[in-house]
Amino acid sequence: MVSINLTHHGKEHIFDLESDATVTDLVNEIQDTLYVPIENQKLMVAKLGILKAPFDTRPATDLENRKITLIGASSAEISSLRAASEKAAAREAHLAAARRNQPKAYSRRDPARAQEESQYTFMTLRPLPNLPHPERSLAFLERLRDDPGIRAAMRAHKFSVGLLTEMDPLSYTESNHEGTTRILGLNRNKGEVIELRLRTDAYDGYRNYKVIRNTLCHELAHNVHGPHDRNFWDLCHQIEREVAKADWKSNGHSVGGNDFYEPSEEIAYDHGGWTGGEFVLGGGGPSGASASSSLSRREIIARATEERLKKQKQPQADSNADASSSGKS
């Protein structure tokens, strides 16, 4: 008799064969006992290697007293795997059919609004290529263009701007013994070009987004009014409120909770609208250029303060006038 020991799935099995038995006789016994089909059997035999179908007539005695590992799935295991595979395929087919039969998503996008947004926008965005990382400036300009509040205001007022670009930080900066005045934005020819001072003076950073957005509101108001008169400031603050209200990302809140943003004394939005192909300063033409450019920082601030005081006093004056008219009548 020949006794063959082997391991299958971590369990040891002993097969007793006739002394003249072959390996073929052994794998037949394995099939009958462990239900592993002959074609699935692989015998890993120490110092002999792997034996697999078709098995030869090697004597079974060659395997005696050797470590043998049987690799192969039983018929039950194969049937289970096949059933699981078929079940998975059926489930995937069902899911695919369900996806195909899903109703198409309803688009709530208003075609008329989409057309307005393509018309009332900034036609071209252009960073300054000579400054470091122009791609960051382009991303800043794109954020302004796509800002929900800016888009809503431009649709409401039917503003179209030919070019939105960035301003060189060294441009339009005046320094003297009184301090430094920086122009944050410029509007040429009522919306032909708008420049914004995106960067800090050192070129290595960017200014606060909401400050620049309010600067853009200011420059958009110059699409209608050139000089900084009462009509201009009424429109400017209206645009600022509209932008803040339509900005769902900020829940419709304006900067600091105020009705509109007031720049610090060290910063001026601009000296008025620009006209002409050579960036002539002032909304009234060349005469406006000489008048505005001769103003000192203190005079610029004083003029802006005077405009704010007029705006604050106007409602009270109108109320008194209405009361006087009512008394006479």
Residues with catalytic roles: 219
**Cα three-residue angle 242-247-250, rounded to 5 degrees:** 125
Cα Rg, the chain, nearest whole Å: 42
Phi, psi of 185 (to 5 degrees): -155, 160
- Cα 82 vs. chain centroid, distance in angstroms? 46
Q: Taking CA 217 as the corner, what is the angle to CA 216 and CA 219, rounded to the nearest 5 degrees?
A: 60
Distances in whole angstroms, Cα of residue 209 to Cα of each of 92, 114, 266: 48, 25, 18
DSSP 136: H
Measured in whole angstroms, the distance separating CA 6 from the mean position of its chain's CA atoms is 62
Read off the tokens for 217: 């509101």
Q: Are 190 and 220 in contact (CB under 8 A)?
A: no
Instruction: Give one DSSP letter per residue of 53-82, joined into a string.
Output: SSP---BGGGGTTS-EEEE---HHHHHHHH
Least Cα distance to 284 among 298, 295, 272, 268 occurs for 272
Query: Which residues, 6+ apart, have CB-to-CB distance to 190 below 8 Å?
Result: 222, 223, 224, 226, 273, 275
* Residue 243 CA to its chain's centroid (Å): 20
The Cβ of residue 260 has, within 10 Å, a number of other Cβ atoms equal to: 19
Alpha helices in the chain (DSSP H): 23-34, 75-101, 111-119, 134-146, 148-157, 209-221, 230-246, 286-293, 297-328
